[in-house]
Amino acid sequence: MTVKYAVIGCGKHALRNHMLPEVNGGMKLVAVCDTQPQCAQAALGRVGVSVPQYTSALQLLEESEAELVIIATPDQYHALQFVQVVESGRHVLVDKPLAAVPADLPMVQRALHTAVRDGLQVFGCHPRRFSAPYRWVKEQLPEWQERFGPLVQVQLDFSYHEPNKAWKHERSLALDHLSHELDYLRWLLGEAEFQMYLLQDGFDRYSVAGSWGTGVSFSFLGTRRLTGDLFPEQINLRFERGQCSVHTKAGRTWLYDHERQNWAQWGSAITNYTVQAAELMNNVAETLSGQAKNYLTPQELWLNTEVPIHVIENGFHHYVPGR
């Protein structure tokens, strides 16, 4: 079965991560929507297909034959459009976040419950689960803990280019990115009680710190100040008797044994954005075809949406599983 899908919001992100043939999971694009028709036309030109174009998301939902709708608009439109897609009875992929302000949380939560009740799949966009170096770290973690003792700290760090869209100069980098770090840490370490504190936040820098479970501290730090189109990231793990630093774009890992006081350098996997986007979209296609499970549960989507908003709003969040 070939899944038919539509895209709302035809910017660079949608094109590179959801529309190009090499990343679309073998699904069939049947409609697009953008308030700027020239953006939709340019994206379709890159994809090499001709499909109906809309400037109204509601009109697309009324007329399109799409089974899945991908929402790739600016963040402030996500919540309402997510609700509209669910109310239309379609599966949906929402680029994070599902909501951008506290007032949007109740309707997002209701829509998630409606989707579960009606058997609709809701997908998010957290590609680190499909990124080779991030997967490799998860695979290596048991071996490193056996060698260096229990994990005591995780630091996730990124340094990106300056925002090239005006609206990104007026919003929180924590809102834009904290959900990625949170999702990866939860995937890496498993479900646990945690406390998180916001230390800094602006359009080009954010940092948080906290404790996970009973024995691991964590910190997330990100900046957007580079002049080139670059995305270096680091994963730093501290154990009782050693530490490692993984550079995801350089393909290098450094291990330091505290007791032997020696360094070792390993070659490691390199982030490939096209491959991770394709794998995420493959999961979407295979889930809708009954061949796989959605890589995110509704509870994980809700957590990735709710926690950043509460941290930004209150400066702190305490999460207790099941509460």
pLDDT in tens, 1-17: 799 999 999 999 999 99
198 and 67 co-located in one domain: no
Integer Cα distance of 33 and 17 in angstroms: 16
pTM for the whole structure: 0.95
Parent domain of 149 = 132-270+306-319
- Give the CATH number for residue 162: 3.30.360.10
Q: So what's the pLDDT on residue 256?
A: 96
What average pLDDT score do residues 71-96 get? 96
Q: So what's the pLDDT on residue 163?
A: 82
Question: How many structural domains is the chain composed of?
Answer: 2
107 and 191 co-located in one domain: no
Integer Cα distance of 278 and 6 in angstroms: 17
253 and 218 co-located in one domain: yes
111 and 234 co-located in one domain: no
Q: So what's the pLDDT on residue 80?
A: 97
Residue by residue, DSSP assigns 230-242 as ---EEEEEEESSE
Asked if residue 260 has pLDDT above 90, the reply is yes
Query: Does residue 301 fall inside a structural domain?
Result: no
229 and 153 co-located in one domain: yes
Query: Does residue 300 fall inside a structural domain?
Result: no
21 and 101 co-located in one domain: yes
Q: What are phi and psi of 311, to 5 degrees?
A: -65, -45
The percentage of residues in the chain with a pLDDT greater than 70, rounded to a whole number, is 100
pLDDT in tens, 29-77: 999 999 999 999 999 999 999 999 999 999 999 999 999 999 999 999 9
pLDDT in tens, 213-248: 988 999 999 999 998 877 899 999 999 999 999 999
Integer Cα distance of 225 and 162 in angstroms: 5
Classify the phi-psi angles of 47: left when phi > 0, otherwise alpha if psi is within -120 to 50, otherwise beta: alpha
